[in-house]
Structure formats: structure tokens, C-alpha cells
Amino acid sequence: MGWPNEFEMPAIPQNAGDLIPHLKIVGGVLVAYFILTRLFSYISILRQVRGLPTQHAFLAAYELGLRTRAPHIPWLLPVKSYYSVPEFERFDKAGSDLLAYTVATEHRAVYFTANPQTAAHLYTKSSDFGKAAFMRRYRSARKFGSNIIAAADGAEHKQHKAIVRGCFGEAIFQRAWEGMSDIVDLMLKEEGVVDGGILKDATFCLIGQVGFGQEVPWNIPETKPGDPMPFLEAMEVIDQSLLYQFMLPGWLMKLIPTDKFKRFGQSQVDFVRYCYQMVREKRAELGITQEADSKPPTDLLGALVYHQMAAENQARSEKGTGQDQVGLTEGEVFSNMFMFLLAGHETTGHTLAFTLAYLALNPQWQEECYNEIREHCGDEAPAYHHVHKLALCHAAGLEALRMRDIVRILAKAAVRDTTIPYTTWDKEGNVTHRQHPVKAGSIIFTDQGAAQRNPFHWDDPNTYNPRRHLSVTADGDARTGVKNNSKNPPFIAFSLGQRQCIGRRFAEVEMVVFLAKIMSRYTIHPVPLHPGESRESIEHRMLDTGTEDLTLIPGKFSIRLEKRA
Ligand code: HEM
């Protein structure tokens, strides 16, 4: 049926008004159907969580960045019930290490566990639990394309891992050691503390060097607003505004009329442009040299491009030319690189800041680490070949991560109807181990901080004790791995199983060299805000004033380095 002529609107039938009551009925039925299905779904969720301490809400707000910022509105948006300070408190009060949350606008049951054994079960039993790739946090992480962190389990993840795995080998770890060693020297020099002094809120920019193969100066000059930024400045600004970078496109931030957002937007636009250019240049460079010298580059970007090209070459030699895309697209290479920037920089930098805080507050562990360094390095500066020997320095970082887990919550989704183990206890000290049935599609969060301070699994959980991460091998060497703790809990800060942190060793190498270099030369001390500030107040400032963003960002504090004689 066409219109009589292109400028003439079809006439409204005279009896159209008669249809209105019918339309109202249809509309009413649809609305009633919508409300009823939601109601039934909600009732079904209430049934699923029966028997567990449960918090009801209308809207969901358990994500980082939201739960500590949104206003607490009982029943509607009860954000304060999604976390507690101290972390284990909400579970302690409930007498259960599994809590349920029913959210009227979410069609699935949501659980939080604080049991490290349950967490290990969730992370490793891939037939029952998988990456909750449908969640907003992972959808936002796909902003520049699919990547290893956001990929769904199965083929998509395998495709990324096949290429990304090649980036984490011995040569890169050694480069990470050397890069971090240079950064410590640069930091001490630029902050004017080579002979000791006060180190103010230092951040660490290792990923620039080992990530992109670029020397990173300690202070990066600021470009005039509106001007294109050089690569290093763009990277630094991105790093300081990661939450916004994930949520908003660069062009949109540039339209927001504040200098801050214009800068954030400009950094994203420039950073994306530089990265694509660098990927192309790397491809051209490696295309020429790959035949003659088959060693992969030791920067992450170079290694990523190299392994992608190696996959393409292999496919070409096996199947001839003209086959489909192999490995990752150019956009996916960039997206993975962007993830390294997030996963590789924030996490390690924040963990190191907390480790310095714990060491400053617990000088006895500095002495133990110092003795270890002296024993294995003697008068030599700590070097990469010492990395396996410096187990206590390594454990000092792991213990800070246990007590101040920077990832905060990790989500898994049940992929089929199954059960999860949990524990309840009462005031008389009766502890019962139970199983709770969960339906496919339910989300189970591990409250990492609470799980790592769960007193049923960790001896004396609120005490900083790196030695709990050490075991002694048959030949008398110390090794990390939670053994020195009567209940042998799994260490979950890097997750476990197929989706565990692929950069764990990289991060650990960075931590060991940083801590060993500092502790071999200095003792570390807290800096009171005013004469007579109490120990309690100093501890609170250094450890408890962090804010949740994409990860836990430590509050600002200074430390004093005193040169060892
Ligand atoms: C203290 C430092 C670090 C901590 C605590 C940490 C923690 C984690 C955790 C908990 C996961 C699992 C995330 C999830 O399931 O959603 C993860 C995954 C990942 N991490 Fe790390 N990470 C650290 C450092 C690094 C570094 C230095 C890199 C790279 C340079 C890195 C790269 C990755 C990647 C690529 C994944 C995704 C692995 C996969 O899904 O196969 N991480 N990390």
C-alpha cells in the first residue's frame, strides 16, 4: 500500500477513535504481563535464597566506584549493605560466610562469599562457574574491542590467550626487573631522597617502559589545554582517570566544559591514535627483522605484535595465503594493550604503596627482609638472578595484598544449576559446613578482602605477617605459597584457574625488585601529620583511607626513608 502522492499524508480513518479503548486494553495487558513476570521472577529468586541471611533491594549497587559513592537509601539502594569496614564485619554479624542479595530490577540471585575455599571452588570449577562477561564491568572493558580480561570463557578467551600468553616469559620478567630497578633510582633522585628524606605520595610508571618500550621521565610536562598531547602525557592522564576512560568516549569528554574533562578526553583521543600508529610501526619493523632474528621484543606491545604476526605466519605456512583473520584484529591488539595499562599499572602500584605502609608500621619485618637481602645479595645490589631467593621480600608484598586486596570483588556466574559450599556459626561457637543450591545465571561475588581476613581460615588474620606465605623446601630454601598457616587457605588475590592473573609473575617480579632495592638501602618510617599524632591515627591514615575506583586506591601518605649505615 503506497501513499497517493509523496507530499500527502495518509488520511486518519474516521473511526480511529473507536480503537483507543482496544489499544488501552492491549497496553494494560502488556503492562500487567510485564509486572507479573517480574513479580514471579522476584518470588522465584526469594525462594532460591531461602535459608541465607538476605538483603532486599530495588536497585543494584554492588560495583566498585558505585557502592561507596552512591547515597545509601534503605530498601531502594542499600549501598552500605554491599560492603563493610572492616571487610569481614558484615559476614561476622550475619553468622554466615555466604550472604544473599535480591534485587527487584535484576532477574538473578546475587551472593557474596567471604570463604576462600568457596572462592577457589568458584574460580577453578569451570564446568559450573564462569566469567560473568555480561556484567557492566566487563562490557565497559570492551570499549575498545574484545580483550583477554573481558572475553567470555571458551573460544573467545582462548583466542586472546593464545597470543597474550607469549608476552609473559622470562625475558620480559627480566626486563620488568631492570625497568623497575631504573625507576626506583629515578624516583629517589627526582624526589631528592637519595641520601634519605621524605618521599611524598609516589606513583610508579613502570608500564610505560616495559609496556611500550619508552623511557618515562619522572615529571611529564603539561601541554596547553586543547593542544594534542605527546604519547607519554596522554598515557599518564589516562592512567590518572581510568574510571572515566572506561565509562566515556574521548570525544564526549572533550565536550564537557571543564578543563579536567577536556584533558581526559584529549588524552584518550591522542592515546588511541598513538597506539594504532605504534602497532603499525611495530608490524613494519618486525616484518623486516623477524626472519633474521626470531627473538620476540621485550616490551609488552612489541611482544603482543610479534606473537600476533607469528600466528599469522604459521597459519599462512599451514594453510597458504588468503585464509580468514588469524589471532587478533588490530583493534583487539590495542584493546589488550589498554588492559595491560589498567591491569599492569594500577594494581601493582597500589599494592606497593600499601606494602610500604605496612613495612613502615612494622619495622621488625624490614629487619627480617634486610637480613634476607644481605644473606643472598651480600654487598651486591639486588639483581634478577636473586629473584627466587628473596622470598620474604616477595611475601611482604603478598601479605599487603592479602590485607588490602586492591581488586576488592570478583564475580563468577553459575553456568548451570549447582551448589556452593558455605559455613555458618553461632555465638556458642558451633560451626556448620553447608551447601547452598544456586540456579544457572546467578552471580556469586567473592568479597576478596573479607575472604582474606576470614578468621575461620586465616590465623590471626588482622596481623601483618609475611611469614605465613613462606614454606621451606627440602634443600632449606624459603618459597612463597601459603603454608605457614594452620588451615592452608588458598591465596586468591590473583584469582585461580583458567582466568587467573596472567601477569602475576610480572607483578611479583616488580614487587620484589622495588622492595629489595628500597630495603637494602633504607629503613622506612611513617611520617606523623603533627607532633604527637597517635599510632592509631597514623595507621588509619595509611591503611584505611583508600577509595574504591576501578581498584582500591590508597589514601595519600608520606614515608621517611633513612639511609642505612
Ligand atoms: C598486584 C598486582 C595484580 C593483581 C592483584 C592482579 C589481580 C588479577 C585478578 C584478580 C584477575 C582476575 C580478574 C577477573 O577474573 O576478572 C586478573 C586477571 C588478569 N590480569 Fe592481573 N593482577 C595484577 C597484576 C597484573 C599485571 C602486572 C598484569 C599485566 C601486565 C596483569 C594482567 C592481567 C590479565 C591480562 C588478566 C586476565 C587474565 C585472563 O582472563 O585470562 N595483572 N588479575
Question: Would you say 369 is a known binding-site residue?
Answer: no
User: Residue whose CA is closest, atom 15 of ligand 1?
Assistant: 499
Distance CA 294, CA 278 (A): 20
Determine the distance separating the centroid of ligand 1 and the alpha carbon of 531, expressed in angstroms.
41
Residue whose C-alpha is closest to residue 466's, from 392, 524, 550: 392
Q: Is the CB of 349 under 6 A from ligand 1?
A: no
- 320-332 pLDDT, tens digit per residue, is 766 567 889 989 9
188-196 long-range contacts, CB within 8 A, separation 24+: 188/561, 189/218, 190/218, 190/219, 191/218, 193/561, 195/563, 196/522, 196/560, 196/561, 196/562, 196/563
Locus of grid cell 574504591? 548
Sequence letter at residue 187: M
Query: Which one is predicted more confidently, 474 or 233?
Result: 233
Q: How confident is the model at residue 208 (pLDDT cuts 50, 70, 90)?
A: low
| Strand-pair partners of 547 | 553
176 lines ligand 1 (CB under 6 A): no
CA–centroid distance, residue 402 to ligand 1 (Å): 15
Residue 2: the pLDDT is 47
Percent of the chain at pLDDT > 90 equals 58
Residue type, 520: S
Question: Ligand 1: distance of its center to the CA of 141 in Å?
Answer: 13
For the CA of 137, the closest atom of ligand 1 is: 16
Q: What's the gap in Å between 354 CA and the centre of ligand 1?
A: 18
- Our answer on whether the CB atom of 502 is closer than 6 Å to any ligand 1 atom is yes
Q: Residue 433 above 90 pLDDT? A: yes
**pLDDT of 205 strictly over 70:** no
**Do 524 and 360 contact (CB within 8 A), yes or no?**
yes
Is 148 a pocket residue for ligand 1 (Cβ < 6 Å)? yes
The residue with greater pLDDT, 516 or 317, is 516
Q: Can you tell me the distance from the alpha carbon of 202 to that of 555, in angstroms, rounded to the nearest whole number? A: 12
Q: How far is the CA of 494 from the centre of ligand 1 (A)?
A: 6
Choosing from 501, 514, 515 the residue with most ligand 1 atoms within 8 A of its CB, the one to mutate for a pocket test is 501
Check if 147 has its Cβ closer than 6 Å to any atom of ligand 1.
no
Contact at 8 Å (CB) between 492 and 126?
Answer: no
- What per-residue confidence (pLDDT) applies to 168? 92
Instruction: Decide: 503 in ligand 1 pocket, CB within 6 A.
Output: yes
Mean pLDDT across the chain, nearest whole number? 89
Pull the grid cell for residue 210.
616495559
Determine the number of helices (DSSP H) and then strands (DSSP E) in the chain.
20, 15
For the CA of 448, the closest atom of ligand 1 is: 10
Residue 20: per-residue pLDDT: 85
> ipTM > 0.85?
yes
Better-scored residue on pLDDT, 195 or 70: 195
Estimate to the nearest angstrom the gap between the alpha carbon of 227 and the chain centroid: 32
**Residue 17 banded pLDDT, cuts 50, 70, 90:** confident
Residue 92: its H or E element: helix 89-94
Pairwise CA distance, residues 210 & 506, whole Å: 10
Predicted confidence (pLDDT) per residue in 461-471, tens digit: 999 999 999 98
Which of 58, 130, 134, 133 has its CA nearest to residue 101?
A: 58
- Which range is least confidently modeled, 47-56, 294-303, 402-411? 294-303
Q: Give helix 391-403 / helix 347-361 axis angle, nearest 10°.
A: 100
Of all atoms in ligand 1, which is nearest to the CA of residue 350?
1
pLDDT tens per residue across span 68-91: 888 999 989 999 899 999 999 999
> Of the ranges 79-83, 210-214, 401-405, which is most confident?
401-405
Does residue 472 sit in helix, strand or coil? strand
Which SS3 state, helix, strand or coil, does residue 547 take? strand
Q: Is 514 in the pocket of ligand 1 (CB under 6 A)?
A: no
Question: Domains in the chain, ordered, with CATH?
Answer: 49-143+414-437 (no CATH), 164-405+452-563 (1.10.630.10)
- For the cut 50, the answer to whether the pLDDT of residue 146 exceeds it is yes
- What ligand 1 atom has the least distance to the C-alpha of 160? 41
Task: Compute, in angstroms, the gap from residue 289 CA to the centroid of ligand 1.
Answer: 31
Protein residue closest via CA to atom 20 of ligand 1:
501
What's the CA gap between 198 and 188, in Å, rounded? 10
291: pLDDT confidence band, cut at 50, 70 and 90? low
Whether 167 shows a pLDDT value over 60: the answer reads yes
Residues 6+ apart with CB under 8 A from 401: 351, 354, 493
Determine if ligand 1 sits within 6 Å of the CB of residue 161: yes
Task: State whether the beta carbon of 308 lies less than 6 angstroms from ligand 1.
Answer: no
Residue 1 has pLDDT above 60, yes or no: no
Span 186-215, average pLDDT? 79
